[in-house]
């Protein structure tokens, strides 16, 4: 008996595999353990203002790593992945050392997770974190016109949502972000809604549409780096390619396909000179571009 097609000719099992990037690596747990170990090492080695409350919700906390040296550095705001239902600040400082070495400050953002936190609220949290940081730029010591928002996987989706005007939740920060770095993201949530991931997210059709950046892009966007690993599922590749095509008329875009990277180790290249992703991110952050 032929299985019923759920989306783009895929049956349920196939669609579920496509939105489970861990099917492309030998051990997801090995990456999660490495994230935690490297993040703990970064907190031991570098000064950090940990657990700063940027909003009223219990999970709305961030860790701020000030830039070294004189002057006001750019700030990279990192939004973690985890399928909107896992990870947090504790596992998300692994990319801090090369970014600090390159002269940037770094903020690592935590937000509420599914099923307790709706997707609209997660997106609102990321916007609140950006607004809170910008309002405290003088106190924290970074250049307010050089805030760059970066997210990976689910975090890339939430970072992309922060680029949109007229949010359903949180302040509008769309014109205040100097640049964005989106890694292995999901930008159309209709197939996510139809997959196993929605058992936790509990999105309806309208919610998926409302939270799909591809359907709400403004005419102009800040400078973008869009990256994916060479070892991604076909659906993650398709989502990436659709987003690249959609944003090219709206912003300067650097596309990166890191052939030797996968969904989980791609963020290791953030800020690392000599890697395609690291060089693209550092080039974006070096530009002294003011937002409106």
Check which CATH number belongs to the domain holding 50 and give it.
3.40.50.1820
Residue scoring higher pLDDT (95 or 69):
95
Residue 292 counted as domain residue: no
Is it the case that residue 220 has pLDDT exceeding 80? yes
The answer to the question of residue 250 being in a domain is yes
Average pLDDT over the chain, rounded to whole? 96
Q: Sorting pLDDT into bands at 50, 70 and 90, what band is 205?
A: very high
* Structural domain boundaries enclosing 184: 5-286
pLDDT band at 289 (very low <50, low <70, confident <90, very high): low
40, part of any domain: yes
Residues 134, 173 contacting (CB under 8 angstroms): yes
Calpha distance 264→199 (Å, rounded): 22
**Domain assignment of residue 188, yes or no:** yes
Q: What is the pLDDT of residue 71?
A: 86
**Residue whose token pair is 């032929």:** 2
Total Cβ atoms within 10 A of residue 69: 7
Express as a percent the part of the chain with pLDDT over 70: 98
Domains contained in the chain, number = 1
Check residue 292 and give its pLDDT.
38
pLDDT above 50: residue 1: no
Does this model's pTM top 0.95? My answer is: yes
Q: Read off the pLDDT of residues 146-171 as tens digits, 9 standing for 90 and up.
A: 999 999 999 999 999 999 999 999 99
Residue 22 to residue 34: CA distance in whole angstroms: 15
Note the pLDDT of residue 2: 63
Average pLDDT score over residue span 170-180:
97
User: Residue 270's closest CA among 281, 284, 254, 257?
Assistant: 281
pLDDT of residue 290: 46
Residue 135: inside a domain: yes
Residue 3: pLDDT band with limits 50, 70, 90: confident
Residue 267 domain-assigned? yes
Q: Looking at the predicted structure, is the pLDDT value of residue 77 above 50?
A: yes
Cis peptide bond upstream of 115, omega within 30:
yes
pLDDT of amino acid 256: 98
Kindly state whether residue 172 falls inside one of the protein's structural domains: yes
In a domain, 291, yes or no: no
* Cα separation, 35 vs 86, whole angstroms: 13
Average of pLDDT values for 277-291? 83
| CA angle, 89 then 93 then 94, to 5° | 135
pLDDT at site 68: 82
């Amino acid at each position: 008996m032929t299985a019923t097609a759920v989306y783009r000719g895929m049956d349920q099992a196939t669609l579920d595999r496509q939105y489970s990037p861990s099917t492309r690596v030998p051990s997801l747990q090995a990456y999660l353990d490495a994230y935690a170990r490297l993040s703990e090492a970064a907190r031991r080695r570098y000064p950090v203002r940990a657990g700063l409350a940027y909003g009223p919700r219990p999970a709305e906390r961030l860790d701020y790593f000030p830039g070294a040296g004189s002057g006001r550095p750019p700030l990279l705001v990192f939004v973690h992945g985890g399928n909107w239902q896992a990870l947090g600040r504790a596992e998300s400082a692994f990319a801090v050392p090369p970014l600090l070495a390159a002269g940037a400050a770094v903020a690592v953002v935590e937000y509420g997770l599914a099923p307790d936190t709706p997707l609209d609220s997660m997106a609102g949290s990321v916007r609140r974190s950006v607004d809170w940081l910008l309002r405290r730029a003088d106190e924290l010591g970074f250049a307010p016109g050089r805030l760059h928002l970066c997210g990976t996987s689910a975090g890339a989706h939430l970072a992309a949502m922060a680029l949109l005007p007229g949010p359903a939740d949180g302040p509008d920060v769309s014109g205040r972000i100097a640049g964005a770095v989106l890694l292995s993201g999901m930008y159309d949530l209709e197939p996510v809604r139809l997959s196993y991931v929605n058992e936790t997210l509990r999105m309806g059709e309208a919610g998926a549409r409302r939270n799909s950046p591809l359907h709400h892009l403004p005419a102009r966007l800040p400078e973008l780096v869009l990256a994916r690993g060479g070892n991604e599922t076909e659906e993650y590749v398709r989502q990436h390619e659709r987003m690249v095509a959609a944003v090219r008329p709206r912003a300067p875009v650097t596309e990166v396909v890191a052939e030797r990277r996968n969904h989980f180790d791609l963020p290791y290249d953030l800020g690392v000179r000599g890697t395609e992703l690291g060089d693209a991110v550092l080039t974006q952050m070096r530009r002294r571009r003011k937002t409106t």
